[in-house]
Structure 1
Amino acid sequence: MEFELLAHLVLRSDRVRSRAHLMECVRGHGGHVGDGRTVDVHIARLRRKLGNAHRRRIVTVRRVGCKYVPDRQESPDTAPCVRH
């Protein structure tokens, strides 16, 4: 689920996504998601997996949600990885 969240945030890095919106997006990828705090836990786990060099790319916007902040060197035209 963490990487589903990351993919969603990366592909839509232009805006902040609410916890409710993130839950809706990943809910369709199987299983019960839980509440907004569940999303927070998955985001925290994802940050740990990304490590110190990249964890700051996922920004929490207080009382709103999360967003991904790409590196300035990353191309916005990079083709997304799509899971089938």
Structure 2
Amino acid sequence: MTETPVRLSAWAHGQVQGVGFRWWTRSRALELGLTGYARNHRDGRVHVVAEGPRTACETLLSLLRSGDTPGRVDLVVTDWLDAQGGIIGFEER
């Protein structure tokens, strides 16, 4: 039985820009078979949007919170939504 796809929206707070965080996130997401993007914001946060099976999205979220990312993640604020589709691959934006 395949899982219904979901969309994870995760805002990473901390020292997450200019340290390879988006590249690292993209690599982990692709390993998990997820689509989406990681985008820098002017306020220093990175917004990660990932779509795919919930278990894979939960694994990505655990990795974002693991303390093993480039830079330093102080907080990850999340929202779970229904998958919207239309995203191909995983981009750094």
- TM category (shorter chain) comes to 0.3 to 0.5
TM-score normalised by the chain length of structure 1:
0.33
TM-score normalised by the chain length of structure 2:
0.31
